[in-house]
Chains A and B, each alone.
Chain A
Amino acid sequence: MSKNSDNSTEPNSLQPQYVGIVARFASPGDLLTAARQIAAAGYRYWDCHTPFPIHGLDRAMKIRPTILPWLVAGAGATGALGALVLQWWANGVAYPLIISGKPFFSLPANVPIIFELTVLFAALTAFLGAILLNGLPRLLYPASTAASFARVTTDAFLVSIEAKDPQFHPERTAEWLRNLGAESVELCPAPEGDDAIPAVIKRGLLVLAVLALLPPLFIALARQHTAETPQEKPRIHIIKDMDFQPKYQTQAVSSLFADRRAMRPRVPGTVPFDPHWQPPPDGFLTGKVGNEYLTEFPIPVNEDVMRRGRERYDIYCATCHGWTGEAGQYDGMTSRRARARGEATWVPPASLTGQAVREQPVGKIFETITQGVVREGLYSMPPYAVQIPPEDRWAIVLYVRALQRARAPYPEDFQDSAPSAGTATASAAPVNEGHIKGNLAGDMRH
């Protein structure tokens, strides 16, 4: 575009005034004939504009074939390969799902998605390729200012030659085009101003862009935190889902009842269900008598309890503390995954066979299972009182003791001493008169 044009009508400065010339032809056939001659005459910067595609015109104009087919083929191949890799990675490696015992990666099941992504990629490329290779969206053409240009999408068959073409001459080219059979020929003045986007639209887009920044900004402000000052408000829940249910917590107040207690007392006259029920031994439910932790098991200790303890331990505890209790060295699945994913809020489980836990009395271990571990106001280990009945919690404590002893045996364990089951009392002291036979815990899995 000639930017220095001052739109004057001086006859001597024709060259910079015009950006091109437009000739209108009567029919597709006339245009085709003319196009062939213009191409033969060696014009370089020229084009035809027609309301519909005229077959043979691209050959007449010597338009080089587009590279679009190769782009589409490449995109289709990318889609096929991408779909294959995606499915192999997702279901074969990253997240293997066992479905009816079928292999994690099997080609036949992957064919539909390979096909769909091939088509999707190729179609998007065909569309975007056609638009972008054509240089669209575009505001101005050299022929834009011609009067006949407005009819090009209806019924006009135009040839436009740009002023920058070396053979262009306002008068001679016009005369030549008339001789080629053009119905009318007009010179195109340079469009006024280079920039046809109205200022209103530009300002509107700017305002929209600024407004679009506001929502993420508000979220960032609401959620800002650092390592020193962690965010204390809960995450923003747009959908409450089942995380927040209308329900009464324990000890909550309810206006529904006269005594304003949500927890209801037993109906008068309620009797125990179990006729043989006996009050539990001291410390059975808490692990403590008074303020003193129990150092001995309040239940009989035998091989059945040990087996029960191992089973319950493997179900409830091993997922974090590991099969052998040596968390830190042999973590359970949950802990390993949390570490692998770098979960920021994850507190690594304590080693149960380490010095600290070994020296705890059994009552203390029982209390930990019952109440969980609270650190900085948050549970680093949740309480298991709800899931595990007290008998099983004691059985787990027994098994934990066995794991500890397998890791840090007593001197007499190395002697071929006779087994003396029964009083497997465990206390803070590493040397203990009670015996847990080494081989009870000896078949634990590493």
Chain B
Amino acid sequence: MGSASTISRQPEVDNTMSDPTSRPPLVLGQHDFATVTETVARIPERPGTTLAWKLSFAVAASLATMFVVLTGYLFVTGIGIWGNNSPVFWGFPIVNFVFWVGIGHAGTLISAILFLFRQHWRTSINRFAEAMTVFAVVCAGIFPAIHVGRVWYVYWLLPYPNPMGMWPNFRSPLLWDVFAVGTYMTVSVLFWYLGMIPDLATLRDRATRPLPRLLYGLFSLGWSGSARHWHRFEKAYLFLAALATPLVLSVHSVVSFDFAVSLIPGWHTTIFPPYFVAGAIFSGFAMVVTLMVPAREFFGLKDLVTLRHLDNMNKFILATSFMVGYAYLIEVFMAWYSGNKYELFTFINRALGPYAWAYWTMVICNVAIPQLFWFKKCRTTPWIMWIIAIFVNIGMWFERFVIIVTSLSRDFLPGSWALYKPTLIDFLMLIGSFGIFFTLFLLFCRYLPMVAMAEVKTVLPQAQVHHRHAAEEHAPSELEYAR
């Protein structure tokens, strides 16, 4: 086994330059196959935990516990403990649902779409981003489920033959949501787990204590790196990527149908599906950056997750920020151009009405602040990008708040207008959902391979079959895989 001392600590190489004459390395620091494994695998193998991890976990687990207790309170008492009331029946729970589901999208985009486009820089961050997807979708799935009121009947959403002879209404976007989010969750977990099997086998083979060996052994299913197995594995991985790609675009489209298919002013627009998808990828990348910047620092992954990776993700944030900003503009334009006075009123009310503070927070966080990413200094300085990403997270939460609350609180009938007042429980459950997310995330960082070792090895120079043999007998067509 290589020890930590074999990992060379080279001076920082700047691989963020875009020099067309030479490809910048994706992995820094003279790594070979063994040291890649060593860098990643020593994190879950470390006996005992660091104080920083313990403290973070204590905070996150306490918040998660608070969420569970409040959920129990909710079940016993009813959804009157929330601020949801006529006419704003969709308050924080649905805001949080849309927020968390959106967060997940970056993970699938990195793992599926960038895989299909052969963007090899994804290999260092895809495991991490996929884990974030799974945990975000867990948080997202909780909110609509507990929002139904009598949660013990939530299984009535599923089409199954029952003694009541009832079936769900398949023409309702809310039921589409059940299928879309359920499929998304399933495919995300499958994709994440399938990609992790070879790495779990690595941890199994390196494990010295019996319990980790047993558990990693169980979940790695006896993976042996057989070429015949890799053959099918790669096919399956490709299929999952190809299936997840339209799924990324569809899930938030279906979520947007919850709004767009209704008639409420400010919701009933055809721009919603692309607007929601762009916003989802925007917020998802911001969350990846938020988590990645501290994680690569604490867990010593700077050679694998380089500044180039962060730079690329920040470029995604900048591009999707423009898409979101464009959607905001078009919404206002269409409200005026349509000549629909309810639509126009809604947007004037958003910008100047009682929720103007939320609207302008959204615009500043989502459109103005990400413009800093025009500067390379901001794209490649971890603490600056971290702060910008936090702003984007806040802005995207407010985007959903603005869409849901402003439209519902001012609908067609002025007689039913009322402002939405979230309760303390609403805020505690929002914070508690972050507790669940970070609890799962910290467990992932501690016990699972955070970087896809097998995939990173394929982008090392040594992995190319002509690396030593100078393509002596290989047809040129076989070389195309070499990055």
Residue ranges of A at the interface with B (Cβ–Cβ < 8 Å) = 27-30, 32-33, 35, 47-58, 61, 63, 66, 68-69, 72, 86-87, 90-91, 94-95, 97, 99, 102, 106, 109-110, 112-113, 115-117, 119-120, 122-124, 126-127, 129-131, 133-134, 136-139, 141, 143-144, 149-155, 238-239, 241, 337, 341
CA A32 to CA B464, docked complex, whole Å: 11
Q: Nearest Cβ distance between residue A237 and chain B, in whole angstroms? A: 11
> Are A133 and B232 in contact, CB atoms less than 8 angstroms apart?
yes
> In the complex, what distance in Å separates the CA atom of A55 from the CA atom of B464?
9
With A52-B230, A113-B175, A123-B240 known, 11 other A-B pairs at CB within 8 A are: A27-B462, A51-B37, A51-B457, A52-B457, A68-B239, A86-B170, A112-B250, A116-B180, A116-B183, A124-B190, A127-B236
Contact A123 B205 (CB under 8 A): no
A56 to B201, CA, bound (A): 23
A341 engages B225 (CB within 8 Å): no
Whole-angstrom distance between the alpha carbons of A27 and B186 in the complex? 37
8 A Cβ contacts from B382-402 to A:
none
In the complex with contacts A115-B250, A122-B243, A133-B232, A99-B227 CB distance below 8 A = no
Residue in A closest to B169 when the chains form the complex, CB atoms: A97
Residue of B nearest to A126 (CB): B239
Tell whether, in the assembled complex, residue B183 and residue A91 are in contact, meaning their CB atoms are under 8 Å apart.
no
How far is A33 from B235 in the complex, measured between Cα atoms in Å? 23
Q: How far is the CB of A146 from chain B (nearest CB, A)?
A: 11
Cβ–Cβ contact A154 & B202, under 8 A: yes
Contact between chains at B250 and A116 (CB < 8 Å)? yes
Contact of A32 among B191, B232, B244, B465 (CB under 8 A): B465
> How would residues 187 to 211 of chain B score, 1 for a CB under 8 Å from any chain A CB and 0 otherwise?
1001101100010011011100000
Contact B183 A110 (CB under 8 A): no
List chain B residues, Cβ under 8 A from A63: 227-228, 231
Residue B299 interfacial (CB < 8 Å): no
- In the bound complex, do residue A57 and residue B227 qualify as a contact, i.e. CB atoms below 8 Å apart? yes
- Seen from chain B, the residues whose Cβ lies within 8 Å of a Cβ on chain A are 32-34, 37, 150, 152, 159, 163, 165-171, 173, 175-176, 179-180, 182-183, 186-187, 190-191, 193-194, 198, 201-202, 204-206, 221-237, 239-240, 243-244, 246-247, 250, 254, 257, 453-455, 457-458, 462-469, 473-474, 478, 481
B5 to chain A, nearest CB (A): 17
- In the complex, residue of chain A having the shortest beta-carbon distance to the beta carbon of B455: A52
Known: A55-B481, A122-B243. A29 touches B466 (CB 8 A): yes
Q: Is the CB of B222 within 8 A of A130?
A: no
Alpha-carbon gap, A91 to B474, bound state (A): 59
**How far, in Å, is A256 (CB) from chain B's closest CB?**
24
Q: Does the CB pair B205–A54 fall under 8 Å?
A: no
Please judge, given known A-B contacts A110-B170, A112-B257, A117-B179, whether A47 and B226 are in contact too, CB under 8 Å. yes
Smallest distance from the beta carbon of B420 to chain A beta carbons, Å?
28
Q: Which residues of A contact B152 (CB under 8 A)?
A: 238-239, 241
Contacts of A112 in B (CB 8 A): 173, 176, 179-180, 250, 254, 257
Q: Which residues of B are found within 8 Å of A134, using beta-carbon distances?
A: 226, 228-229, 232-233
Contacts known (A47-B226, A68-B239); A52 close to B165, Cβ less than 8 A: no
Using A68-B232, A130-B235 as known contacts, say yes or no to A55 and B473 having CB atoms under 8 A apart: no
Show 6 A/B contacts (Cβ-Cβ < 8 Å), sorted by A.
A28-B463, A29-B464, A29-B467, A90-B159, A122-B243, A127-B190
- Report how far A392 CA is from B241 CA in the complex, Å: 69
Q: Which residues of A lie under 8 Å from residue B191 when comparing CB positions?
A: 123
Instruction: Report the Cα distance A95→B226, complex, angstroms.
Output: 51
With A47-B228, A49-B226, A91-B169 as contacts: A153 and B243 at CB distance below 8 Å:
no
Residues of A within 8 A of B469 (CB): 29-30, 33
Partner of A123, one of B175, B190, B226: B190
> What are the residues of chain B within 8 A of A50 when measuring CB–CB?
225, 227, 230
Indicate if the CB atoms of A150 and B205 lie closer than 8 Å: yes
Residues of A within 8 A of B159 (CB): 86, 90
| Closest chain B residue, CB of each to CB of A90 | B167
Chain B CB within 10 A, most for which of A30, A53, A86: A53
CA separation between A110 and B231, bound complex, in Å? 36
Q: Is B198 a contact partner of A52 (Cβ separation < 8 A)?
A: yes
Q: Considering the complex of A and B, which 10 residue pairs feature the smallest CB-CB distances, nearest first? A: A130-B236, A90-B167, A155-B33, A138-B222, A48-B227, A126-B239, A153-B202, A137-B221, A95-B167, A55-B481
Q: Given A30-B468, A154-B202 in contact, is the A95-B180 Cβ separation under 8 Å?
A: no
In the complex, chain B residues whose CB is within 8 Å of the CB of A47: 226-228
Would you call B205 and A94 a contact (CB within 8 A)? no
- Cβ A68 vs Cβ B235 within 8 A: yes
Asked whether, in the complex, the Cβ of A29 is within 8 Å of the Cβ of B224, the reply is no
Among B186, B226, B228, B458, contact of A52 (Cβ-Cβ < 8 Å): B458
Q: Do A53 and B243 contact each other (CB < 8 Å), given the known contacts A63-B227, A241-B150?
A: no
CA distance A341 to B228 in the complex (A): 53
Q: How far is the CB of A223 from chain B (nearest CB, A)?
A: 15
Instruction: Determine how close the nearest CB of chain A comes to the CB of B203; give it in whole angstroms.
Output: 8
Bound Cα distance A126, B204 (Å): 24
Once the chains bind, are A154 and B33 in contact (CB under 8 Å)? yes
* Residue picked from A48, A69, A154, most chain B C-beta under 10 Å: A154
Q: A131 and B180: CB pair below 8 A?
A: no
Quick check: A153 and B205 within 8 Å, CB to CB? yes
B247 touches A119 (CB 8 A): yes
For the complex, give the distance between the alpha carbons of A72 and B240 in Å.
10
The interface residues of chain A lying within 8 Å CB-to-CB of B167 are 90-91, 94-95
